[in-house]
Amino acid sequence: MFRQLSLAARWVRGLCGRLRTARPDASEARGQNLLKEWLSPEQLAQYTANGFFDVIGGDSGRRYRIHHGAAMNVVEVDEFGGARAGWCFMPRACLVAGDVMLAQKIALETNERGTLAIANNFTPDRRPHPSRRGQRIGTHLLR
Amino acid sequence: MATQIVMDHTGDTRHNFDTEDAKAVLKAEERFKTLTGRGFTAAVRNASGETTVIRSFDPNAEETLFIPRFVGG
């Protein structure tokens, strides 16, 4: 299941890459600018520092971590920052990563239940980012 | 001046219009209806930065963002 999702995500990324304009850097930059304009100050600081930002689900109050990327980049996390579940969903269009992340943020904040109903679930990589090993998130020690 | 921002493969396309110009507002409303009719979600931000989804055209919204329909990945 995970392998199939991974292959599908890779195929989508490849397709989008081929369809993108002759100026991919400009498109990526525009997407990044739009994302940064719409993130809250806290989310922007978190994204700048770590390459991800947290979003609170509008229906359940659960916390989701949106990592830089365009597919398989949303992970539900517990109060200690530990991965609970991965959620794969994206706009049905070839968009740059900044746009996809912004769309995912808005979807979870404004229509969490409807978004998760169409999303595919995957088992996230539970290993912490190498740069964060040994650091505490809340009271949880990353190993 | 208000802006409609449509996410697309170039990053986004922006349509600016003068909120005092009735013709321009009408055209913006038509664009809103066309995009939402095609499945786009329209979102606006309030003064505190909170994002809400709107179902009908708001001529007073400074920025309206249009997001393509979602699919599971």
Domain ranges of chain A: 2-141
Kindly state whether residue B43 falls inside one of the protein's structural domains.
yes
Determine contact: B67 vs chain A, CB below 8 A: yes
Percentage, residues of chain A above pLDDT 90: 66
Is the CA virtual torsion A123, A110, A71, A8 positive or negative? positive
> A127-143 burial string, b = 16+ CB within 10 Å, else e?
ebeeeeeeeeeeeeeee
| Containing structural domain, residue B36 | 2-67
Residue at B73 is within a domain:
no
A-chain residue closest to B9, CA distance: A95
Query: Residues 6 or more apart from A58 whose CB is under 8 A from it?
Result: A108, A109, A110, A111, A112
**For B56-71, how does the pLDDT look when each residue is reduced to its tens digit (9 = 90+)?**
999 999 999 999 999 9
Say if CB B62 and CB B3 are below 8 A apart. yes
Q: Residue A74: which of A115, A114, A14, A44 has the closest Cα?
A: A115
pLDDT tens profile A81-120: 899 999 999 999 999 999 999 999 999 999 999 999 999 9
Per CB-CB distance under 8 Å, the chain B contacts of A71 are 73
Name the domain count of chain B. 1
| pLDDT of A2 above 80 | no
CATH number (domain holding residue B21): 3.10.20
For residue A11, is pLDDT > 80? no
Stated pTM of the model: 0.83
* Rounded-to-integer distance, Cα A45 and Cα A38, Å: 12
> Is residue B9 in a domain?
yes
How far does A142 lie from chain B, in Å, by closest CA? 29
